[in-house]
Amino acid sequence: MSSTTSTRVMVTAGVPSRRPRGAGRAHGGTRAEARTAWLFLLPFLLLFLVFTAVPAVLAVTASMTDMTARDIRDPLNVNFTGFEGFVKILGNSAFQQAFLNTLLFVVLCVPLSMGLGFALALLLNKGIRRLKTFFRAAVYVPVITNIVAVAVIWQYAFSITGPVNTTLTDLGIPAPNWLGEPEWAVTTVVLLGVWRTTGTCMILFLAGLQAIPEEIYEAAATDGAGAWRRIWSITLPLLRPTTLLVTVLMTVMFLNIFEEPYLLTKGGPLNSTKSMALWVYEQFGFGNVSASMVGSVLLLLLVGIVAIVQFRLLRPKH
């Protein structure tokens, strides 16, 4: 019995194993699919490499040198300074002011944009029965409107003799100097920023609201939950992923705010509306390449840290 078994084992071991039919074909198909996927990804990877990865590496490298505008033609003929430039910029009063202004824009604009966007999304999802498409388009129009044209209109509207002050005067309200006084200049920039971004928040929140099953609200209403209770106990928890997305997008957008203060006030008056991005732009225009690169790297680090913290705090709890 044992000899027969060993003979069978030896015979079986000597016979080459056969692969299942179609196995090689399936493996080849997987490779072909992988090559096709990389082929589709290649344009994005090239654009990312040329316009994002390489400039980021060059910016970090230039931030550790004493490069100026005269050194751009011969970038290798510069002195390596390490983190000396970072220490110098962090102690610069103008940069510190720009940093505080940027934080102020984030603190004011992000909650206002998200609050208005959420309220409008609720209205367009349930409250308004007619002309929903019209109102959605009307709220979203500021997002796609040319910012230069908008800034020209806002400069005229909020000038000393503009229609805003004229209306306030007719109502017996003192007319402020919107663009000439630091407090009112900040208010004007915040209003423009909120006006431009509310439509984005509204669209994203509306998409999140329409993904919530209607049966959940019907069951809650049957149990006696009112409108505010349904919003607090159903809508807000189920919108947590959307809220995370909107919060990160708006925070990153206002950390990089540039167009509004540049076009409205040029960062004035008294640098009250100068953001970090505008400070970096001005330093590069002045020929301080290394200083502008230091500001860019610091802004990138700030955006990354804030985004990571927001993901930690607002990520959905399973």
Q: Is residue 286 part of a domain?
A: yes
Q: Indicate whether 15 pLDDT > 50.
A: no
Residue indicated by tokens 């990153």: 252
Q: How confident is the prediction for the chain on average, in pLDDT?
A: 87
Q: Is residue 190 part of a domain?
A: yes
Q: How many Å apart are CA 283 and CA 278, to the nearest integer? A: 9
Give the pLDDT of residue 137. 87
Q: How many Å apart are CA 93 and CA 83, to the nearest integer? A: 18
Q: Is residue 84 part of a domain?
A: no
Closest CA to 165 of 231, 154, 311: 154
Give the pLDDT of residue 222. 84
Q: If DSSP states are collapsed to H, E and C, what string results for 106-161?
A: HHHHHHHHHHHHHHHHHHHHHHCCCCHHHHHHHHHHHHHCCHHHHHHHHHHHCCCC
Residues 208-222 pLDDT 10s: 999 988 888 888 888
Give the pLDDT of residue 3. 46
Give the pLDDT of residue 209. 92
CATH of the domain at 280: 1.10.3720.10
Give the pLDDT of residue 264. 94
Residues ≥6 apart with Cβ < 8 Å to 38 = none
Share of the chain above pLDDT 90, in %: 61
Closest CA to 101 of 267, 259, 273: 273
Give the pLDDT of residue 25. 52
Q: Is residue 212 part of a domain?
A: yes
292: alpha, beta or left? (left if phi > 0; alpha if psi -120 to 50): alpha
Q: Is residue 276 part of a domain?
A: yes
Give the pLDDT of residue 199. 94
Q: Is residue 137 part of a domain?
A: yes
* DSSP structure string for 204-223: HHHHHHHTS-HHHHHHHHHT
Alpha helices in the chain (DSSP H): 2-14, 23-48, 54-63, 84-90, 93-122, 132-144, 147-157, 163-170, 182-210, 214-222, 227-230, 236-238, 240-255, 259-264, 276-285, 289-314
Give the pLDDT of residue 71. 82
Q: Is residue 77 part of a domain?
A: no
Task: Name the least confident of 11-20, 251-260, 268-277.
Answer: 11-20
Q: Which domain holds residue 117?
A: 93-314
Of the pLDDT bands very low, low, confident and very high (cuts 50, 70, 90), residue 5 is very low
> CB 2: neighbour CB atoms within 10 A?
6
Residues 114-146 pLDDT 10s: 999 999 999 988 767 677 788 888 999 999 999
Q: Is residue 82 part of a domain?
A: no
Between residues 120 and 313, the one the model is more confident about: 120
Structure tokens at 75: 């970038």
Rounded to the nearest 5°, which phi and psi values hold at 81? -115, -5
Q: How many Å apart are CA 185 and CA 178, to the nearest integer? A: 5
Q: How many Å apart are CA 82 and CA 64, to the nearest integer? A: 5
How many domains, in total, are found in the chain? 1
Residues 241-272 pLDDT 10s: 999 999 999 999 999 999 999 999 999 899 99
Residues 179-202 pLDDT 10s: 999 999 999 999 999 999 999 999
Give the pLDDT of residue 114. 96
Residues 42-88 pLDDT 10s: 999 999 999 989 988 989 999 999 888 888 888 788 899 989 999 99
